[in-house]
Chain A
């Protein structure tokens, strides 16, 4: 079974600053996908970014980028030029690519607060 660990329960930064959320995972699989999801107060889960484990290049989506270190099983999310609307819970998630369709395994989440 795989596990996902987010060691920062809460983080707070000033608007326009850069912030990095950490995530580590444990798996014996070699092929998998990693995701960062955002859950604002509305509780709607929103996909932020997705990384395929077989790709060495780190995924980027506008102000969001990841630092994927496969050997270290680390998958951190960097948010540049943070905005007030980035305030939310952020969940790191893992899914294996083997064995058919599987649900996501989530970390416990990091509550990110962007201060004006």
Chain B
């Protein structure tokens, strides 16, 4: 149980285009999903927290107009990188939390990640 998928697993795009990444919880409902970014040989950095039916909360330094997050249902959150540039090239990982929020310290289940390369 607790499987999270991401699509696509890998994407290459030209500078200036937009890319959408989907994150799905396959066998549970996720009230909260998180988006992380991981540069090569570095740790995961939280970008934003996404709650179903409400606006995402972005971490300091993350441009909300560049990284659009939509959490349309309890099983789907999307991250759209708008007008992508080479410096946006990275590994993007989503995670999903079942319920109760951090008050109960619910475990986050991670997707397999999406490697974005912007040429």
Binding site for B on A (CB under 8 A): 32-33, 35, 37, 42-47, 50, 52, 91, 95-109
Contacts and interface: CB of A to CB of B under 8 A. Distances in A.
Contacts of B112: 42-44
Contact of B102 (A45, A47, A99): A99
Q: Which 4 A-B pairs have the closest CB atoms?
A: A103-B46, A33-B105, A45-B110, A101-B101
Given A101-B32, A101-B97, A104-B46, A44 B113 contact: yes
A99 B113 CA distance: 27
Given A33-B105, A37-B110, A101-B49, 4 more contacts: A33-B102, A98-B102, A99-B102, A102-B102
Contact of A97 (B31, B93, B103): B103
Contact of A101 (B51, B93, B107, B109): B51
B32 A104 contact: no
Contact of A45 (B95, B101, B104): B95
Contacts of B108: 103-104
Chain B at the A interface: SS class: strand
B46 A105 contact: yes
Question: Size class of B's contact patch?
Answer: 20 to 34
Contacts of A91: 43-44
14 contacts: A43-B38, A43-B93, A44-B110, A44-B113, A96-B102, A97-B105, A100-B102, A100-B103, A103-B59, A104-B95, A104-B108, A105-B46, A107-B43, A108-B43
Given A45-B95, A91-B43, A104-B44, A52 B110 contact: no
A67 to B, nearest CB: 19
Contacts of A105: 46
